[in-house]
Amino acid sequence: MVSQLSFLYSVVLPHLQRMVMAISCEKCIQMNNALFMLVHSVCILCAAYNAATEQAGAVESQVKNLHQQIMAITSGRMKATQKKVDDISKNLDKVRQEVTRLKVGIRTAERFVVLQSRSCGCAQSTDSDVHLCE
């Protein structure tokens, strides 16, 4: 980007200045001055951008270094804790599967009771509760 600006500043701007001077009108001179100020502002901002990029790179390298140090210090604790979390997750999955299996069994038993009570003709069903005759 800086090479493009230096090309603009060293080659294009003088060429435009010569063209403007050839026309030599008041408005063109004002435009030439404005163009010069814009190019100068862009150069200043590019220098500030490059400086900020260098500072950001330095901070980023410090952050990476600190992250590596943190991971080196806590890696043993993290592994043990992660293993505990994995074990608990596995146990939780097993319990969920068991609960689901038992719910299915309960629904199946309820349907079976309803069908059996209907087939014998001695059941009364109210509010989806089944009361068998004695």
Length in residues, the chain: 134
Give the N- to C-terminal CA distance of the chain in Å, as an integer: 94
Residue of 119, 118, 120, 117 whose CA lies nearest to 132? 117
**Alpha-carbon dihedral angle through residues 89, 90, 92, 96, given to the nearest 10 degrees:** 130
Spatial distance between the Cα atoms of 31 and 46, rounded to a whole number of angstroms: 22
Structure confidence at residue 47 (pLDDT): 87
Query: What is the pLDDT averaged over residues 33-58?
Result: 86
Q: Looking at 13-27, 30-44, 89-103, which range is the least confident one? A: 13-27
Residue 41 has pLDDT above 70, yes or no: yes
Q: Parse the chain into domains and list their residue ranges.
A: 1-78, 87-121
pLDDT in tens, 61-73: 999 999 888 888 8
pTM: 0.37
